[in-house]
C-alpha cells in the first residue's frame, strides 16, 4: 500500500499535504514527481477511486 511516509510530509488540512522531496538536479525531481503522481493514481484506481492532485514547488513556477 502506498504511503506518504516516504516523504517528509505535513498535513495542512484534510486531503492537503506538504511534502519535502530532496533532489540533486531538475531531472531527478521531475522523475520523482512523475513517479509519485503515477503511484497516487494507481493506488486510487486499485480502490476504484479517483484522485485529484495539484503539485508544485513552492517559491517557483514549477508545476506537475
What are the tens digits of pLDDT across the range 2-59? 677 888 899 999 989 999 999 999 999 999 999 999 999 999 999 999 999 999 999 9
- Using CA atoms, how far residue 18 sits from 5, 37, 45, 47, 48, in Å, is 12, 14, 23, 23, 25
Q: Are 27 and 64 in contact (CB under 8 A)?
A: no
User: Is the pTM for the entire model greater than 0.75?
Assistant: yes
Residue 18 φ/ψ, nearest 5 degrees: -110, 125
Amino acid at each position: 500500500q502506498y504511503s506518504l511516509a516516504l516523504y517528509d510530509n505535513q498535513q495542512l488540512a484534510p486531503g492537503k499535504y506538504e511534502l519535502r522531496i530532496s533532489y540533486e538536479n531538475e531531472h531527478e525531481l521531475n522523475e520523482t514527481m512523475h513517479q509519485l503522481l503515477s503511484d497516487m493514481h494507481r493506488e486510487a484506481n486499485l480502490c476504484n477511486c479517483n484522485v485529484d492532485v495539484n503539485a508544485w514547488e513552492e517559491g517557483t513556477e514549477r508545476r506537475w
